[in-house]
């Protein structure tokens, strides 16, 4: 039996990045797409619980969901797929998912949901600010899939892959998640009736610039591969620094 590959994304089931991924992997297994029916970028790991999830069967292998990528994965695993998939891929996203992006990203949210279910998964992104060319990213995605099929990472770990948008890649690096210095810019403007409205601007790229992080790798022309775990406990502070909260008088049992 051929491996079963579930594909989702946050750019919508008609996105060119998803088509490029499908084309690149179609001979490696049976590919089923369960993806949002529209663009859902920056929806993070959100799920829909206050309304119905409508699903449209586009063809026997493609399902469009009125929901988030995490919704898609849950529906696929619990309802749509005939059996447990061997690998879940999310992407290829148009735009990088580096550093703190992994919390906002619907692409990563979909892959993380699969990791929650103990399935091998990867979030795949093309680090571009424009339309971008998915050719290299599709080839890299195929390699990642082959490797996951050959030997998955530990259960609960997802691989966050970012491919630079350039014709010549220098190679690939295993990286750590980078940090961005925050300070969101807001663009203020008004509508035709003079009411003010606001846009959260693309964050300006100010990074800590750790040479081992994901953003540095992509900037230097390398594919970045970051293994992400679901436990986000800060072990540096959890033990010592946070201990005083547990000792605080207000929470002590009397």
Binding site for Mn ion (CB under 5 A): 10-11, 41, 93
Nearer to Mn ion, 35 or 144 (CB): 35
Nearer to Mn ion, 96 or 145 (CB): 96
Please state the closest distance from residue 242 (CB atom) to Mn ion, in A: 34
Please state the closest distance from residue 176 (CB atom) to Mn ion, in A: 23
Nearer to Mn ion, 5 or 43 (CB): 43
Contacts of 32 (CB under 8 A, 6+ apart): 4, 5, 6, 7, 61, 62, 63, 76, 80, 81, 85
C-alpha 139/C-alpha 25 separation (Å) is 9
- For the chain, the farthest-separated pair of C-alpha atoms sits apart, in whole angstroms, at 66
3-state secondary structure of 74: helix
Sheet holding 62-65, edge to edge: 55-59, 62-65, 30-36, 4-8, 87-94, 121-127, 158-164, 222-228, 171-174
Contact (CB, 8 A) for 124 and 92? yes
Minimal CB distance residue for Mn ion: 41
Please state the closest distance from residue 10 (CB atom) to Mn ion, in A: 4
Nearer to Mn ion, 40 or 145 (CB): 40
Nearer to Mn ion, 16 or 152 (CB): 16
Please state the closest distance from residue 211 (CB atom) to Mn ion, in A: 27
Q: Closest Cα to residue 121, out of 93, 147, 96?
A: 147
Please state the closest distance from residue 11 (CB atom) to Mn ion, in A: 4
C-alpha 65/C-alpha 40 separation (Å) is 11
């Amino acid at each position: 039996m051929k491996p079963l590959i579930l594909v989702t994304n946050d750019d919508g089931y008609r996105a060119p990045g998803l088509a490029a991924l499908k084309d690149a992997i179609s001979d490696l297994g049976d590919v089923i797409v369960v993806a949002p029916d529209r663009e859902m970028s920056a929806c993070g790991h959100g799920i829909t619980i206050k309304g119905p999830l409508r699903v449209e069967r586009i063809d026997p292998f493609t399902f469009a969901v009125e929901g988030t990528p995490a919704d898609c994965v849950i529906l696929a695993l619990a309802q749509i797929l005939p059996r447990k998939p061997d690998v879940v891929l999310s992407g290829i996203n148009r735009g990088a998912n580096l550093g703190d992006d992994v919390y906002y990203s619907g692409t990563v949210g979909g892959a993380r949901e699969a990791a929650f279910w103990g399935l091998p998964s990867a979030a795949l992104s093309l680090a571009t600010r424009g339309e971008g060319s998915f050719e290299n990213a599709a080839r890299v995605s195929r390699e990642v899939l082959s490797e996951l099929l050959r030997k998955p990472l530990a259960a609960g770990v997802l691989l966050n892959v970012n491919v630079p948008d350039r014709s010549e890649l220098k190679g690939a690096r295993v990286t750590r998640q980078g940090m961005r210095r925050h300070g969101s810019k807001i663009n203020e403007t008004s509508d035709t009736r003079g009411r003010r409205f606001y846009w959260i601007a693309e964050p300006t790229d100010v990074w800590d610039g750790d040479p081992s992080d994901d953003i540095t790798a992509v900037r230097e022309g390398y594919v970045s591969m970051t293994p992400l775990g679901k436990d986000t406990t800060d072990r540096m502070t959890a033990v010592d620094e946070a201990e005083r909260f547990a000792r605080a008088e207000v929470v002590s049992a009397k």
